[in-house]
Structure 1
């Protein structure tokens, strides 16, 4: 039997992570992510899955972000019947993220049909909230650092990745070969999240390269955040922060609370307008093993925000002219309540749209940070007159130096390292650096490329 890996996603892009292991008719899928960003990538979500979903024996999730888990409802709906292995934290975060994704897709389709701006008649969701609920029943949680047999001569072990709650580095013992999937690696020394676990051995390694060609800004995030808040509120403007509901929203609240406790923030109100982020904040408190904060520190940090409970409150918040900070999902401004806030404030030269991390190509976030003069939301164009800034140092991803630090934990070189989950320039830059500094054999796989694991 010949072991193979096929890159069904996450190759040449930071989204759509899907890695298919196969041998002798058995198939294991590591990650099951949505493609996001550029239209030609998003169209892949609607294409027929490369193999019959019912032929896949099991799915393993590194973590719950949609670019790693968001296709799971469609996979189950289309015939996948096996178990989905993930950490307990990932199971709980998926329980928030996936139904929310289905609900938003239903709402977006309904909104598009109502206002007739879709090219499809009728516009349809990729999947529904009900599809998402059904997919959650397949998740079988396993503890960190405990080997789990999932089939004849196949076992998995999850190690902490430090990226978000429940994030895992996945070790797969696959018919006599050890494969390691980095998932998304967190930053070493992050004030909230634990460091990524160092791994000593892999025959084959699949490593992310989101920031493979960049280093995070070394500026103090609280100093930069305070400067932006002061400048904006003194102009009478509002700060709108598109933030990933799991991880980034909580990190922002943590820093804002520290600024307020230090007497630097004043009384500018902070609003958390994301039901999913609110639920995720509660989960962080319930899983102290995945981060550095005590339950008391969590409650104190997250109490700074006023919770926006429903769409009516959200609309009233947008209409209120007082200077304020609004944290709302999604982090790349691809959907969710934040779009309604952006539509209102992006045309205001006194306000600021503040991003807090990586923005994938083809997203509104990437466009605004690149200096777009206008952005399209719900079928209409809005001029970008607001200030646009980015707290790149708050990224939940390790930068190039952080990835290299993690790689140096291996005691010997893998037979082959696959560099994935990055824009082409980032992946190739990391490949070059690994070859030059570590002397390892590396490749940057193409989408749908298949490789033999000897």
Structure 2
């Protein structure tokens, strides 16, 4: 029987990662993410799954970010009954991310119905918090480098990839054919996360290309933070940093703590206004050994930040005019408490909105990056007069050179390398680099394309 791979997401876009591996006897889904960004992409979340979810035998998860895990509650609700196989840290983070995602979807639907700005009557959530909670018992966790039987005839192996806590590449071997899924590839020499581990061999490779067409700024993150915060505080303003609750928030906390320790941040208060980011930071410290920080460094970094858990505390941050730094989710300003801070601080020139990660097309973060003069938030148009700056060097994704460096760890060329998880320009540029620099056969698949694996 001929095996096949179908690209159900992250083809021509950086979101919605889903790859369906059909061995002829079993069907395994690698990643199960939400589409984010442009409306036409988000609408794919509402489409019927291409096959009945009950016919999927297992899900393998590279990491916890919602563009890789966030569709799981819908899959389980609609009939999936197999195991969700991941690393231990990915499971712990999904325990936070998935119920929170459902809770936010319910809240957004309620708010849309209350304000009447949805075209749908009534507006409904894609899934609920209860759907997410019913998903969590399906997880089965394993250590890095542990060979795991997925279905009969198929085994999987997780290798650490940096990026965020628990992130892995997945090597799947089915009936003698080896398929490697890179997941999201982390940075080399990152201050908090480990280097991405090389993979020796694959018959087929699926590799991400988020930054496949550019190189990251090599400026020190601490120097950049010090400069931006310094000039904002000098004019009496507040710095609002939309940050992914898992990964970016913890990196920011570490760098800001180092600045404080060195006496370079003066007495500027720093607030982490995201209950999920607070909990994720505590999980980060529970997994010492899977990142670069010691237990003492974790505790020291967290002690330099004021945690904000309650809604009333969050509201008070917008009433207090003292200069400060607010780190709040979500990282692309698609939802969460950061929207309320943007409504308060974006209209004033003395403030700064500091972008600290990739901004997918169609998100408010991308609009800010591209110079938007106003943002639509909760049905209202909010003027943007604040300074907008970016910390490109803080990306958790490998850049063009680092991606090639990781590919250099293969001892032989895969038969075919499929370039995914990137905007069309980034993916095609990286495909060209792979062909020119490594001499490999590489191509960018189309959304929904099915390819046979010899």
Question: Fold conserved (TM > 0.5)?
Answer: yes
Alignment of 1:207-218 (within 5 A): 207-218=207-218
Partner of 1:95: 95
Listed one character per residue, the Cα deviations across residues 258-305 of structure 1 (whole Å, up to 9, x for unaligned) are 101111100010000000000000001000121010011001011111
Partner of 2:401: 401
Alignment of 1:365-404 (within 5 A): 365-404=365-404
Partner of 1:199: 199
Partner of 1:123: 123
Counterpart CA distance in 1 for 2:224 and 2:198 is 31
Q: CA deviation at 1:23?
A: 2.4
Partner of 2:350: 350
Counterpart CA distance in 1 for 2:24 and 2:219 is 52
Counterpart CA distance in 2 for 1:178 and 1:325 is 47
Partner of 1:38: 38
Counterpart CA distance in 1 for 2:151 and 2:87 is 18
Counterpart CA distance in 2 for 1:21 and 1:289 is 32
Counterpart CA distance in 2 for 1:298 and 1:23 is 44
Does residue 16 (structure 1) correspond to residue 16 (structure 2)? The answer is yes
Partner of 1:185: 185
Counterpart CA distance in 2 for 1:249 and 1:60 is 26
Q: Secondary structure at the match of 2:132?
A: helix
Counterpart CA distance in 1 for 2:157 and 2:269 is 44
Q: CA deviation at 1:86?
A: 0.2
Q: CA deviation at 1:212?
A: 0.2
TM-score, with length taken from structure 2: 0.99
Counterpart CA distance in 1 for 2:114 and 2:305 is 33
Alignment of 1:268-287 (within 5 A): 268-287=268-287
Partner of 2:83: 83
Q: Is the 8 A contact 2:177 2:203 kept in 1?
A: yes
Q: CA deviation at 1:25?
A: 4.2
Listed one character per residue, the Cα deviations across residues 72-108 of structure 1 (whole Å, up to 9, x for unaligned) are 0000000000000000000000000000000011111
Alignment of 1:241-390 (within 5 A): 241-390=241-390
Partner of 1:2: 2
Counterpart CA distance in 1 for 2:423 and 2:302 is 34
Partner of 1:423: 423
Counterpart CA distance in 2 for 1:251 and 1:170 is 25
Counterpart CA distance in 2 for 1:274 and 1:311 is 10
Counterpart CA distance in 2 for 1:126 and 1:319 is 33
Counterpart CA distance in 1 for 2:360 and 2:284 is 26
Q: Is the 8 A contact 2:58 2:151 kept in 1?
A: no
Counterpart CA distance in 1 for 2:323 and 2:27 is 54
Counterpart CA distance in 2 for 1:215 and 1:299 is 33
Alignment of 1:101-120 (within 5 A): 101-120=101-120
Counterpart CA distance in 2 for 1:221 and 1:150 is 40
Partner of 2:224: 224
Listed one character per residue, the Cα deviations across residues 178-206 of structure 1 (whole Å, up to 9, x for unaligned) are 00000001001101100111101000000
Counterpart CA distance in 1 for 2:114 and 2:54 is 36
Q: Is the 8 A contact 2:9 2:15 kept in 1?
A: yes
Counterpart CA distance in 1 for 2:175 and 2:289 is 32
Q: CA deviation at 1:431?
A: 0.2
In structure 1, runs of 5+ residues without a counterpart are none
The runs of at least 4 consecutive aligned structure 1 residues that moved more than 3 Å come to none
In structure 2, runs of 5+ residues without a counterpart are none
Listed one character per residue, the Cα deviations across residues 134-176 of structure 1 (whole Å, up to 9, x for unaligned) are 1111010011101011222100000001010100100000221
Q: CA deviation at 1:399?
A: 0.5
Does residue 172 (structure 1) correspond to residue 172 (structure 2)? The answer is yes
Number of residue equivalences = 454
Q: Is the 8 A contact 2:57 2:151 kept in 1?
A: no
Q: Secondary structure at the match of 2:155?
A: strand
Partner of 1:63: 63
Q: Secondary structure at the match of 2:271?
A: strand
Counterpart CA distance in 2 for 1:261 and 1:426 is 38
Counterpart CA distance in 1 for 2:7 and 2:432 is 20
Q: CA deviation at 1:121?
A: 1.3
Counterpart CA distance in 2 for 1:309 and 1:447 is 40
